[in-house]
Structure 1
Amino acid sequence: MPRKHRSRRKARSRREADVNKIIVIGHLGRDPEMRYTPNGQAVTSFSVASSRRYTTSAGEQKEETEWFNVSAWGKLGETCNQYLAKGRQVYVEGRLSSRSYEARDGTTRFSNDISLTDVQFLGGRGGDGDGAPASAPYESGAGAMADEAPEFDSVDDLPF
């Protein structure tokens, strides 16, 4: 008896959910900037640089740095704004999105953007040893972006 093919929609609902998660440990490149959306929700933006050092086959020492733009929403954003400062080492975890844009000089540039879901403050404020304790006083959760991101009950409800 020939095997019946399931619809693509039905097959997809039986698979695991997709995952988009990035973890970065690096240093803040600038002080956080907090603003409020028209509905009063806090959003804090900051940049994180993560560098790696390596030796080329010619024996030359090189360093490569990746930059990430981070957005923290709600209470998580308020906490980041309070405890983070330029130079501070931080662990960030969240959803990655990449985009391209045209720079003032006409060249195409790319950026790596993270919607923050978890943070741990490492080292002192500004890298000088003072400030908040090494672990964040905030337990992040899935509700950090609840007002901004729509919720879907199942994979079948996704808009694609």
Structure 2
Amino acid sequence: MNINEIKHELVTLGGGAHALASNMLGNPDDASDAVQDAFTTVLGKPLAYDAQKGPLKPWFLRIVRNRCLDLLRRRRPAGMPVDELTDKGATPEQAAELDDRDRELKLALATITNEQRQIVILRDHLDLPYAEIAIVLDIAPGTVMSRLHRARLALREVLKSYE
């Protein structure tokens, strides 16, 4: 993959990278800084990416995740909000219901561990396959499945209390 192909692919990954960073850091400005730092790192060393070792997406998201972990080590996060999920074309009633569900989901996500939150966001929000999540988190694919299952169970329990 040449530098132009890498740049093009990175542009398409920006939104997902920012969503991951926002959920890890709880602050959109810090998330933007982490993603920008990851972009700068990758574009500064484009030969560091080896297409034979796997796709660019999980490799880049792992860099973003590592930048976020560096920031988290330096401070204690205030919260882990999820990006706004409201459908902009919804009726006012539907929008209100979606806002309520979004709020409940944000609160529920804040109650589970950071590790569980990351795996849920990578799978359910960014739609990464298990193999790519394993690369991002540096764990075995089977571990991804079991951790995701436990995270979803934890979320389900929390969300039951909102019914």
Q: State TM-score, norm by structure 2.
A: 0.22
Q: Comparing both structures, which one devotes a greater share of its residues to helix?
A: 2
- TM-score, normalisation: structure 1: 0.23
